[in-house]
Structure 1
Amino acid sequence: MSDDAATPPGPAERSGPERIRALAHPVRLEILDILDRLGEATATECAQRTGQTVANCSFHLRTLAKYGFVEEAERRGRQRPWRPAPGGYDLRPDVGSSDAVRAADELALLTLERETRRLHAYYAHAHATPARWREAASMLTEVVWATPGELAELADDVAARVARLARRAPADRPAGARPANVLAVLTPDTHAD
């Protein structure tokens, strides 16, 4: 990382409202998606894929770096590529902070809107998806009876399993692997007492 890059947040800052709000922006989420898919990209490459200006993408990349979501990758000549910060990001808010909880709720709603658009796009054309990929796709809905601790443990288990696949280096990905979208939502039933 260069000297002008911000220091990533420490453990106490990882679930603060400012950090969560920094991510709650459609362009920033799109840039993170690009970096997750490509491994690294410059502001110019992000601009080409998002339809934003290079300056706007550069601003958003610096903001993401300030809050520890991305970091500078090794320079390629004069190009400054960025990559996802190691370890992914867990944005469960500090439940003692109403500001952090509200920020996390805003981010969750924005994320649900994005993922709903992706699901609609997939299922609108799923019939044209090769059979082996169509058979691998799934949608699971289930009511489970769990304590808060069990639900948190389930979330951790799912997150750990997904992280193993998401953070594989390109050289470690098996032949025929391609990006797949995962949306896992675990929420208590608001109708239950």
Structure 2
Amino acid sequence: MLRALAHPLRVEILAVLDDLLEATATEIAERVGESPSNCSFHLRQLEKAGYIERAEPRGTAKPWRPVHASRNLRPDPEDAASVRTSAALGSLYVQREASRVVDFLATPPVGDPEWVRTVMINSSEVWATADELRELGERIVALTAHLEGRSSDPSRRPPGSRRAFLFATVNPDPRSEPTPQG
């Protein structure tokens, strides 16, 4: 499944579908600057891997929609190819998210203190065991569980809510040696 995403255009196509909730190959092509036929090929690959599915037809249009609202990019630690694929894919996602944050910072919501106070950029260094890092990652994911479903169902959005993004990474420092066992 990870290998199906290891192509920059497929990552971009999924991002468009996440934004629009459903779109045709032509609509996606307009957003990503590719041909509809090239997008159709990549959409079929994403469908085979279970990331997207066909939505209800709109007249003659045949839109696609994402199957999941989020994606777990963790590799199989016993499979070196899975680890390499996950690293390459993770790199694509980090680059995309970093670009999005940089674009946001170029035009922050000046003049609206309520929303300006919501912006946070945090970098932390911690010493933790592998179990603690896994738990930290799971807790970060769990923090947004109560907000799920609001993208696809506008009736679940509270008054005054806005679309927002959370981008978090948890990773060990490969240059750091584990603390010796006592």
- What TM-score comes out, normalization by structure 2 length? 0.86
Residue of structure 2 in register with 1:180 after alignment: 164
Residue of structure 2 in register with 1:161 after alignment: 143
**What letter is aligned with 1:36?**
D
> Deviations 1:104-124 (Å, cap 9, x if unpaired)?
111111222212211221112
**Which one of the candidate residues 161, 166, 176 is aligned to 1:192?**
176
**Which one of the candidate residues 57, 61, 85 is aligned to 1:103?**
85
SS class of match (2:108): helix
Aligned residues: 175
Counterparts of 1:25-174 in structure 2 under 5 Å? Answer: 25-86=7-68, 88-126=70-108, 128=110, 130-168=112-150, 169-174=153-158
User: Conserved in 2, the CA contact under 8 Å of 1:42 and 1:81?
Assistant: yes
The share of aligned pairs that are identical, in percent, is: 43
User: Conserved in 1, the CA contact under 8 Å of 2:10 and 2:42?
Assistant: yes
Higher relative contact order at CA 8 Å, sep ≥6: structure 1 or structure 2? 1
Bigger drift between 97-106 and 42-51 goes to: 42-51
Structure 2: gaps of 5 or more residues: 178-182
Shift, 1:164, TM fit: 4.3
User: Conserved in 1, the CA contact under 8 Å of 2:149 and 2:156?
Assistant: no
Residue of structure 2 in register with 1:9 after alignment: none
Shift, 1:127, TM fit: 6.0
Residue of structure 2 in register with 1:10 after alignment: none
Bigger drift between 34-43 and 170-179 goes to: 170-179
The whole-number CA distance in structure 1 between the counterparts of 2:55 and 2:38 is 19
Bigger drift between 91-100 and 149-158 goes to: 149-158
- What TM-score comes out, normalization by structure 1 length? 0.81
Give every structure 1 segment of 4 or more consecutive aligned residues whose post-TM-superposition deviation is greater than 4 Å.
Answer: none
Higher helix share: 1
Larger Rg: 2
